[in-house]
C-alpha cells in the first residue's frame, strides 16, 4: 500500500508558477499495477520522483508499508567514473542484496559486453538505459516505479524488458507512466489521472483510459511512445 496524504508541490520557472500536486490524497492498494496518466508536462515524472523519495514535496506525506523502487531505468545516479559493474555492486550494497548475484543478472540481461567493465561516462544513452533497467529489475521491490522504460533500446531489448517487467509485477505492484494505452492495458489493472495538480484514481481501467483520451484527444489504439514532459 502507498498512501499519499495532503501532498503539495509547485515550482516557479521564469516567474511562472507550476503546480504539480495540489493537495493530493490517494491510496494505491498493495499489489496494484496503476497507470499514471495525464498530459505532457502534467508532472507525472515529478510525482514518481516524490513517491521514490528523490524529490521532497512542499507539504504532505507519502507512506508505504512495503519497499518502493527508484524510478526503473533511471540512470542519473550512476557514478560516471565507475564502471557499470562497480555501479551495480554499489547498488547491491545500498539495498542489501547479494552483489555477485546482482552483477551476474545485470551482466547477462544488459548485454553490454566489455563495456560493462568500462566507465559509465563512455556509455551511449542506450547503454546506460540497459544498465539501469537491469539494475532496477535485479532488486526485488514491493512496488516498481516505471517511467516509459520499456520504450528504450532496440526491438529485442524492448521485448525482453517487457517480458521481465511483467514477470516482476506478478508478485509486486507498479506505478507506470506511459503514453501507450496498449502498455496500460497489458500491464495495469487500474489508473490515476493527473490534471492541474489533482490526481483522480479509477479502479475501472477502461473508464480511466476513456477519460484520459477525452482530455488529450488521443487515439485509443495509438501505441506511439513519447517523451514525458
Q: Out of 87, 117, 140, pick the residue that ends a domain.
A: 140
List of residues 6+ apart from 134 with CB closer than 8 A:
88, 105, 106, 109, 110
Q: Are strands 143-147 and 68-72 parallel, antiparallel or unpaired?
A: parallel
pLDDT at 96 > cutoff 90: yes
What does the pLDDT read at residue 33? Answer: 95
Same domain, 228 and 147: yes
103-157 tens-digit pLDDT: 999 999 999 999 999 999 999 988 988 898 899 899 999 999 988 755 556 778 8
d(C-alpha 187, C-alpha 175), whole Å: 10
- Note whether 151 and 185 are same-domain residues: yes
Residues 117, 177: one domain?
no
Task: Name the domain count of the chain.
Answer: 2
pTM of the full structure: 0.84
Residue 148 in any domain: the answer is yes
CATH number at residue 191: 3.40.50.300
Query: Are 154 and 212 within one domain?
Result: yes
> What domain range is 41 assigned to?
30-54+143-229
**Residues 28-50: tens digit of each pLDDT:** 999 999 999 999 989 999 999 99
If you write DSSP's letter for every residue of 96-156 in order, what string do you get? T--HHHHHHHHHHHH--GGGGGSBGGG--HHHHHHHHHHHHHHS--SEEEEESGGGSS-HH
Same-domain status, 201 and 152: yes
- Same-domain status, 80 and 116: yes
Residue range 163-177: mean pLDDT, rounded? 91
Q: Which residue has the higher pLDDT, 157 or 173?
A: 173
Amino acid at each position: 500500500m502507498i498512501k499519499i496524504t495532503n501532498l503539495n508541490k509547485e515550482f516557479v520557472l521564469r516567474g511562472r508558477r507550476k503546480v504539480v500536486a495540489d493537495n493530493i490524497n490517494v491510496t494505491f492498494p498493495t499489489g496494484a499495477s496503476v497507470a499514471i496518466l495525464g498530459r505532457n508536462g502534467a508532472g507525472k515524472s515529478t510525482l514518481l520522483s516524490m513517491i521514490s523519495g528523490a524529490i521532497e514535496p512542499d507539504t504532505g506525506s507519502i507512506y508505504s508499508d512495503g519497499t518502493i523502487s527508484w524510478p526503473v531505468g533511471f540512470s542519473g545516479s550512476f557514478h560516471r567514473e565507475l564502471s557499470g559493474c562497480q555501479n551495480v555492486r554499489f547498488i547491491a550494497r545500498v539495498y542489501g542484496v547479494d552483489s555477485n548475484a546482482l552483477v551476474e543478472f545485470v551482466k547477462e540481461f544488459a548485454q553490454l559486453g566489455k563495456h560493462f567493465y568500462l566507465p559509465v561516462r563512455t556509455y551511449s544513452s542506450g547503454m546506460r538505459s540497459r544498465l539501469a533497467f537491469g539494475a532496477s529489475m535485479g532488486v526485488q521491490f514491493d512496488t516498481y516505479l516505471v517511467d516509459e522504460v520499456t520504450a528504450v533500446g532496440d526491438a529485442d531489448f524492448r521485448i525482453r524488458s517487457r517480458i521481465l517487467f511483467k514477470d516482476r509485477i506478478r508478485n509486486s505492484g507498479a506505478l507506470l507512466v506511459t503514453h501507450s494505452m496498449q502498455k496500460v492495458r497489458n500491464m495495469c489493472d487500474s489508473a490515476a489521472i493527473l490534471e492541474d495538480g489533482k490526481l483522480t484514481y479509477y479502479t475501472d481501467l477502461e473508464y480511466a483510459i476513456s477519460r484520459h483520451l477525452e482530455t488529450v484527444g488521443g487515439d485509443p489504439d495509438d501505441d506511439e511512445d513519447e517523451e514525458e514532459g
